[in-house]
Structure formats: structure tokens, C-alpha cells
A and B are shown apart, each in its own frame.
Chain A
Amino acid sequence: MLSLWLSAALLLIGCGALLWWLYRRERVVSRQRNQAERQAQELLRRMLQPNELHQLRTHRFLEVGSRLIPGRVYRIPHRRGQVRVYEGGRHTGNLCIEPTRWVPDSDVLLIHKLLLEADEASYLSTANLFKASPQM
């Protein structure tokens, strides 16, 4: 009977220690990611022009004009998510493409901008396109 109680106590202590370790680890990862996001925001502010920063703060997205398709504009969201495609002012679809390694949200936005400006063809061939449903 005593050994049963001992086993149960040891199991409880083990579970408690594991939960404590997971909690501490989550806090450390969360703190590191917040710090990374602050650094990424600082880099983004450095890389964007004042009008681009204004658009981002006001509308929570950044627009990049296509160099391949006249009249097409890409709308990059403030936080990670699909890039919306507009042609002649009409929403025609969404592009889904993401980094293969985790980076902060502000870095994701910067990556979309750099790729669309400098390597749009490769960006489009990698991204998955979801066409917008036609409006009635």
C-alpha cells in the first residue's frame, strides 16, 4: 500500500515538474519572440519610405504595384496572412506564400515587399493563388 502511495506521489511530482518546465519554456520563447518582433519593427521602419509607413499605420496594409501586370496591385497585410490581389481596383484573388523558417510578422511583411519588387515572377510561381469568387 505504501509503495502505491509513493508511486502516486512520485508521478504527481514528475507531472508537476514537467508542467512547470513547459510553462517556463513557453515564457522564455514568448519573451524571445516579443523581442524579435520589436527588432523586426525597427528594421521595417528603416526600410519603408514615409508614405509607405503612413499607409501601413493608417490602413494596416502595404500596397506594392506589379511590375509585370499593368493595373495590378498587391496588398500585404500588417500581420502574416494572405496577400490580396487587386486588378483595376477589383479584388481578384489571394496569394498564400510563407517563409520556411519562423520570422516575426514585421519581417514577413518586409519579405513580401522585397520579393514583389525584385523577384515578382518567382514569387508568383511559388505562391498558391486562390481566386476571389465573382461578385454578383
Chain B
Amino acid sequence: MAALYVLSSSGDQRVTWQRERLEVRDPEALSAIAEAEALFTRERARGSSAFKVLPGQPAQRLDVFDATAEEIVIVPRMAGGA
């Protein structure tokens, strides 16, 4: 099960889909991935950063939505503190 997580004050907002279902053009999976891509685009426009997470490997920054990613985490913009 692939997932996109948007970290927020309520914990996280998540969208999940089955990647193998995408290959057979399953309407539910297509709808979920469209929702995930829309969330990705909206959050990136707000200045958030996105990362692809792979088990046992360092995270990778994502500038464009990757429908093949297993897990994507979107984090809020950061600022220097005191």
C-alpha cells in the first residue's frame, strides 16, 4: 500500500492507494492518486517540502510528484529559530 502523508497540527493527513491497482486502471486507485497529486501540488505551492522515503535508505527530496513512490512525506516550511 503506497501512501502520501502531509504533516499537520492534527498529526497527519494521509492518502493511500494500491500501486498494483494503478496498472489495471482501477477507478478507486486512480482517484486516490489524483487526490495525492493535488495535495502534493497544493502543499508545494505553500512552501512545503516533499520527500520520498525508502526503507533502510536515506530520504530523497521530491520536486515533482512521483506516482511510483511507496511513501511520500510532506513537511511544512522551516524557519531559523532563536
Contact = CB atoms under 8 A, between A and B. Distances in A.
B24 interface: no
Interface in A39-59: 39-40, 43, 47, 49
A84 interface: no
B59 interface: yes
B75 A115 contact: yes
B11 A38 contact: yes
Interface of B: 5, 7-12, 47, 49, 51, 53, 55-56, 58-61, 71, 73, 75-82
A127 B82 CA distance: 9
Contacts of B61: 118-119
B59 A36 contact: no
A79 interface: no
Interface in A93-136: 96-104, 107, 110-111, 113-115, 117-119, 123, 126-128
Nearest to B55: A49
Contacts, number: 98
Interface in A1-60: 32-33, 35-40, 43, 47, 49
Given A36-B10, A103-B76, A119-B61, A96 B81 contact: yes
A99 B10 contact: no
Contacts of B59: 113-114, 117-118
Given A115-B49, A117-B59, A118-B58, A103 B9 contact: yes
A102 B49 CA distance: 15
A60 to B, nearest CB: 20
Contacts of A49: 55-56
Given A36-B9, A39-B12, A117 B78 contact: no
A82 B77 CA distance: 17
A90 interface: no
Contacts of A100: 47, 76-79
